Amino acid sequence: MPTLSISRRDILRSLSLGVAAGSVLRVIPLEAAEHVHRMVTAEKAAAAPYVPKFFLPQEYKTLRVLCATIFPADEHSGGALEGGAPEFIDLITSENPEFQTKLGGGLLWLDEACTDRFGQSYLQGSPENQKEILDLIAYRKNAKADPRLSQGIEFFSFLRTLTSDAYFTSKVGIEYLGYIGNTFLHEFPGCPPVPES
């Protein structure tokens, strides 16, 4: 199965760019996000399905489930999976040691926490067990009641931010926002009239 050569230098250069002021992006600069989406699209076109660069197969399955939970598809728009968030996250994580530690360690923590609580890993757990653990790590206030949740809370917070960045810079996410970009308007009706008091 052929794979495209991924330029580490290009990704690292893109990730070093500053985040634009007012951007919805919180971790990844817009230019870097566009670059990563193009790389993922090119790789998927050349060798479908996408082959993870950093995560082990089981970890990647967990990542996909978590991304789909964070931004599920609905009747109006595709979700994180349709937006390519797992591929996006895997690709940038493969080139960033800090992300590798946060996400790799977080997935390991999640499986160990689920095994301790429910006797099985996150993916093997029932939907109720999955929801219960995510409800615990979704809120920072829960670390006050149980400090053992701190690592999981930091992991899930970081994953939500990355998933948001990936989703809202994808074609699906941009369509969901209704952004039309710099397009030519045939007419501009102006602002609606102000109602009289």
pLDDT per position as a tens digit, 10-26? 554 445 344 333 344 55
List the beta strands (DSSP E) in the chain: none
pLDDT per position as a tens digit, 45-98? 777 788 899 999 999 999 999 999 999 999 988 999 999 999 999 988 988 899
Output the CA–CA distances (angstroms, integers) from residue 111 to 54, 58, 115, 121, in the order listed. 18, 11, 6, 5
Mean pLDDT of 140-157: 94
Task: State the Cα–Cα distance between residues 96 and 187, nearest whole angstrom.
Answer: 47
Q: Supply the pTM of this predicted model.
A: 0.77
The mean predicted confidence, pLDDT, of the chain is 83
